[in-house]
Structure 1
Amino acid sequence: MPELRPTGVERRTFLRYTGLVSAAAAITASVAACGGPSSTGDDASGATGTAGTIEAGMSYALSTGFDPMTTSGATPYAANMHIFEGLVDLDPVTLEARPALATEMPKKINATTYRATLRDGATFHDGSAVTAEDVVFSFERILDPDNASLMAQFVPFLDGVSAVDAKTVEFKLKYAFTLFPSRISVARIVPKKIVEADAKGFDAKPVGSGPYKFVEAIREDKIVFAKYAQYNGAHPAKAEKMIWRLISDSSARVSAMRSGRVQAIEDVPYIDVAGLAGSAKTESVQSFGLLFLMCNTADKRFADKRVRQALHYALDTEKIIKTALVGNATAATGYVPTTHPDYHRAATVYTHDVAKAKKLLAEAGVGKLEFTVLLTDTGWVKDVAPLIQESWAAAGIEAKLGIAQSAAQYAKIDGGDFEVLVAPGDPSVFGNDADLLLRWFYYGFWPENRYGWAKSAAYKQVKQLLDKAAQAADESTRKQLWGQVTDLVAEEAALYPIFHRKLPTAWNDKGLSGFSPLPTTGLSFLDVGRA
């Protein structure tokens, strides 16, 4: 097997990455001071809610900046779908790959060579032309380990990217990778000149080639976009302006929807779905989106997989789903939900079995297990928290709840200061194939820097299986290998899903045209206008 480019974030680059995230949060908080509409005059005219403006209620705060190389926050990532383009993008509703800046899907020259041609007249929001040089730069900064790009783990097959001419880019692969045409959607194309001049400034005030351009962002308040009139791609803006209200409080989000202040909201509280149906259209879409349980395997207690397994067996997952989510989730029987085309039922399926949980703890030599479980303050996660605590208590496990904003929790985790985490996750925004979904949590950054799995034999085996699957020529072999990975991570339970949930969205179908709810976190207003 050929040697692969490291896809994890090494320690030296990890420290740089966490510093960038902290800086990005501070930068985005002060972007409003740099110009753009004031917070009291949301339209250029000074009026609010004109026919040309789409307003939306988002549930997640700005936890990172907007640089698409490092953005992992749900809200900035959703914003970037409107601001940036890749050569290839994923349809936000179907998750199917489609040409964006490229005139067509990349052409296969041979097993390890592809070419893509840029569409004529494509420009960035500063008016400069999008060139092959910008494309090469965008990929090279992802591949550079010093940049600690979160996207690097998804493109380990790339050997090099070069400009054939001003409009044509050639990709050289280390090995044949059949998912290449769709996988490069993880790379958004950025303007080389602007990024090289001021990378931190670009992270706070992004410049892309998409249908909407960035105007301003105020943390815990709003993000404002304006139509980019010079956009000449297939999905032009259908509204003159967008204002995304950052409303983390679920009841406030519902009130904004009911009052007509916004035309759509994500993450509708499950108990409010039926009540909103009279004033808005609501729909819950099955997603990969999961609630996962992650243990710090560097902690001696959780280094034993039997202890980690006991935490899963002790959970009354069906009760949690029925009570807190009103039935809008499915207990995990594999890494991906049963509706996913690459679903594999894991050899280890965690059912509610208190006796087995106690037996595993006893076998591991654990008497009284006490710890603090960190949880994010997302509305539905807070609803789930006491039920998780109750389940563990029934098995003699004492867990103290530590609930805080996502950024604060991950700051603790990235500093090694945690025991157990329960949190939502959804890497399907980057792509929906099993290779990508598995790599997010089990290859590179997460296992090496977050849950301390890097030195384990199981992790080495997972990496080998994923690399072997990536180079497999036929689909059946890939699926078989992905199934082996699923069996392994289920048994190890260092990080593993508790359930996959449905995503409830509400929108004014009389006020918006062309809107559809997404199977991923966030909202999309591509091809959506005011009715």
Structure 2
Amino acid sequence: MRDDVIPDGPAPRRRSFLTGAGALGAGALLAGCSAGPESTNDTGGGGGGKDRTLTAVIGYGNDGSWDPTQTASAFAMAANNHIYEGLLDTDPITRLPYPALGTEVPKDPGATTWRFTLRPGATFHDGKPVTADDVVFVFDRILDPGTQTLAKGFFAGWLDSVVKTGPRGVELRLRFPFPDGLSRLTLAKIMPRHVYAKPGAWDDAIKGLAVGSGPYRQTAHHPKSNTTFDAFAGYNGPRKPAFRRMNWLTIVDAAPRVAKISGTGAGAQIADNIPYANIARLEQGGLKVAGGAGMNNLFLMFNTRHKPFDDIRVRQALHYAIDTEKMVRVALKGHGKPASSFLDEGNPGYRRARTVYDHDPEKAKALLKAAGVTGLEVDLLAVNVSWIADCLPTIKSSWDAIGVRTTLSPQETTAVFTKMDQNRDYQVVAAASNPNQFGLDADLIMHYNHGPGNLWMRYTRWADAPVAKRLFQDMDRATREPDPARKKAMIQDYIDVVAEQAVLYPVVHNELMTAWDARELSGIRAQPYPGVNLLTAKWI
């Protein structure tokens, strides 16, 4: 991610991520439609006391896709959680599902049919009622085999169809029991059919059109500047809006982002993506700074059709060469851990991988020698996310130390992944990813990154390799496994393959920091993934 982009589907168009996504969050069409000049930081109105505008600073771009079925943009996903609702939504920290547009969580998660009744009186921001037709409309798009969406990868494997049972009733028919699917329903934001079925409306959604039924409605969208929101007076759901107005600023560069929340004349009350070097100063200035540890990671991605990176020994050598302890100590100021699995250590599905890339330069040299590689020169294409940039010198010095002459080429995230979309040649990419913005379950995380039809595998040019085909089969078998313990073991086993192959693999997992003025705001919880969630926050 410029801190916010990841790949999500086979079509060569960008829908924003990260990833952190990410990385990655997925690439997004960058054409923007602005409700005003990009330099505008309009707050949507004044007001004092409880009516004053809440200003948030988001360290990711707001110019990626806003289509909930497509986006992995950190900014857009965080905003959409305030604008839209799913049948169920999830707590931003525990990720446990709760009723949103649906009136209750199905009592039997292991059933192959889930029935939902829509909340009485639920309306979209344009005043039209939410109906079963809107629900079916969204799921039909997600499940349509002819439409490529990011959401398809989260649903198509286990959800067969969604049918209308009445004006406010729908039935979800599953291919097999899949209890994890309940938490994934928050990823299917219900959108008004009368708005998005119009010609060109999905392109408008990519550019920023957002009409939902959630507690806040979008009032203005200025790509590369800010997006504003008002409390939706017609909202009758479980998480009432506490702020009359919100103004979310996009400030990708670290220094101005920190400055915006600092000092007595601070222009914002909360900011995410806080650099580790600024934590102490912000705390001394009276702000609360807290972190969330999860799947946020720096990963290496290899072009397996560019020799010698088709050789597993070369990929492994470059991982073994990296002094990850130094990277955590110097670049991350202790707010991270060397990767010991694709999953972070706090994930419920975590098990230490069979192959762990502890710093071992002698082993790295031996692997290169066994592969017959000498005089290797690497141009490391990297995203210019601030914390990634801090880590790059350690990679260079580590690779230089084993005789691999390394050139660092940091660029805007969108530039990096545009090259990927255009199928241009590259050697190795270093970027950031955080699939936790979609959920915690390991099946989702692994399919997001290693699904056979997704952009990641297209970028690596690896999906047709025999070992990859076997991996995809093992992944699908694990998805269908009904026994939770057996399923966990199967996922852990195929993660061992992913670790050994090192085609797309984390180097370090790190902590994401959020800062806020606790003298003004309560109910804030730092997330282990990009963005903020203000649905339980309020003025003091």
Structure 1 length-normalised TM = 0.93
Deviation at 1:416, TM superposition (A): 2.3
User: Structure 1 residue 152 and structure 2 residue 155: aligned?
Assistant: no
Select 1:250's aligned residue among 246, 249, 254: 254
Superposition RMSD in Å: 2.2
Higher helix fraction (1 or 2): 1
Deviation at 1:472, TM superposition (A): 1.1
User: Structure 1 residue 434 and structure 2 residue 442: aligned?
Assistant: yes
User: Structure 1 residue 179 and structure 2 residue 188: aligned?
Assistant: no
Alignment partners' CA distance in 2, 1:333 and 1:40: 43
1:201 — aligned with what?
A: 204
Q: Equivalent residue of 2:308, what SS?
A: helix
Deviation at 1:183, TM superposition (A): 2.2
State whether residues 43 and 49 of structure 1, in contact with CA within 8 Å, keep that contact through their aligned partners in structure 2.
Answer: no
2:12 — aligned with what?
A: 15
Structure 1: which amino acid aligns with 2:130? V
State whether residues 107 and 116 of structure 1, in contact with CA within 8 Å, keep that contact through their aligned partners in structure 2.
Answer: no
Alignment partners' CA distance in 1, 2:102 and 2:349: 28
> C-alpha offsets along residues 432-463 of structure 1, whole Å, 9 cap, x if unaligned?
01101111111131343211111012221221
Alignment partners' CA distance in 2, 1:249 and 1:17: 21
State whether residues 42 and 48 of structure 1, in contact with CA within 8 Å, keep that contact through their aligned partners in structure 2.
Answer: no
> C-alpha offsets along residues 476-512 of structure 1, whole Å, 9 cap, x if unaligned?
1111101111100000000011111111111000111
Alignment partners' CA distance in 2, 1:116 and 1:487: 39
2:272 — aligned with what?
A: 266
Q: Equivalent residue of 1:416, what SS?
A: coil
- Relative distance call for 1:31 and 1:366 in structure 2 (3 A) is farther
2:61 — aligned with what?
A: 61
State whether residues 63 and 406 of structure 1, in contact with CA within 8 Å, keep that contact through their aligned partners in structure 2.
Answer: no
Select 2:420's aligned residue among 413, 425, 440: 413
1:461 — aligned with what?
A: 470
Q: Which moved more, 1:139-148 or 1:312-321?
A: 139-148
User: Structure 1 residue 26 and structure 2 residue 27: aligned?
Assistant: no
User: Structure 1 residue 241 and structure 2 residue 245: aligned?
Assistant: yes
Deviation at 1:214, TM superposition (A): 0.8
- Relative distance call for 1:255 and 1:202 in structure 2 (3 A) is same
- Relative distance call for 1:18 and 1:290 in structure 2 (3 A) is closer
Deviation at 1:18, TM superposition (A): 6.7
5+ long unaligned stretches in structure 1? 1-7
Deviation at 1:97, TM superposition (A): 1.7
1:190 — aligned with what?
A: 191
Structure 2: which amino acid aligns with 1:187? A
Alignment partners' CA distance in 2, 1:408 and 1:10: 17
Q: Which moved more, 1:81-90 or 1:201-210?
A: 201-210
Deviation at 1:86, TM superposition (A): 0.6
Identity of aligned residues (%): 37
1:3 — aligned with what?
A: none
User: Structure 1 residue 123 and structure 2 residue 120: aligned?
Assistant: no
Select 1:321's aligned residue among 328, 331, 342: 328
Select 1:500's aligned residue among 509, 512, 531: 509
Select 1:365's aligned residue among 372, 383, 407: 372
- Relative distance call for 1:22 and 1:442 in structure 2 (3 A) is closer
Deviation at 1:154, TM superposition (A): 1.2
Q: Equivalent residue of 2:219, what SS?
A: strand
Alignment partners' CA distance in 2, 1:51 and 1:172: 44
- Relative distance call for 1:494 and 1:38 in structure 2 (3 A) is closer
2:430 — aligned with what?
A: 422
1:477 — aligned with what?
A: 486
Q: Which moved more, 1:72-81 or 1:90-99?
A: 90-99
Alignment partners' CA distance in 1, 2:300 and 2:399: 13
5+ long unaligned stretches in structure 2? 1-6, 17-25
- Relative distance call for 1:509 and 1:10 in structure 2 (3 A) is closer
Structure 2: which amino acid aligns with 1:320? M
State whether residues 32 and 218 of structure 1, in contact with CA within 8 Å, keep that contact through their aligned partners in structure 2.
Answer: yes
Alignment partners' CA distance in 1, 2:251 and 2:519: 23
Alignment partners' CA distance in 2, 1:38 and 1:53: 19
2:389 — aligned with what?
A: 382
Q: Equivalent residue of 2:320, what SS?
A: helix
Deviation at 1:41, TM superposition (A): 4.5
- Relative distance call for 1:110 and 1:218 in structure 2 (3 A) is closer
State whether residues 268 and 505 of structure 1, in contact with CA within 8 Å, keep that contact through their aligned partners in structure 2.
Answer: yes
Structure 1: which amino acid aligns with 2:249? R
Structure 2: which amino acid aligns with 1:124? F
User: Structure 1 residue 132 and structure 2 residue 112: aligned?
Assistant: no
> C-alpha offsets along residues 3-50 of structure 1, whole Å, 9 cap, x if unaligned?
xxxxx9775xx136679x98842224x2327xxx993652424x7998
State whether residues 44 and 219 of structure 2, in contact with CA within 8 Å, keep that contact through their aligned partners in structure 1.
Answer: no
Structure 2: which amino acid aligns with 1:522? G
1:91 — aligned with what?
A: 91
State whether residues 25 and 62 of structure 1, in contact with CA within 8 Å, keep that contact through their aligned partners in structure 2.
Answer: no
Alignment partners' CA distance in 2, 1:140 and 1:301: 43
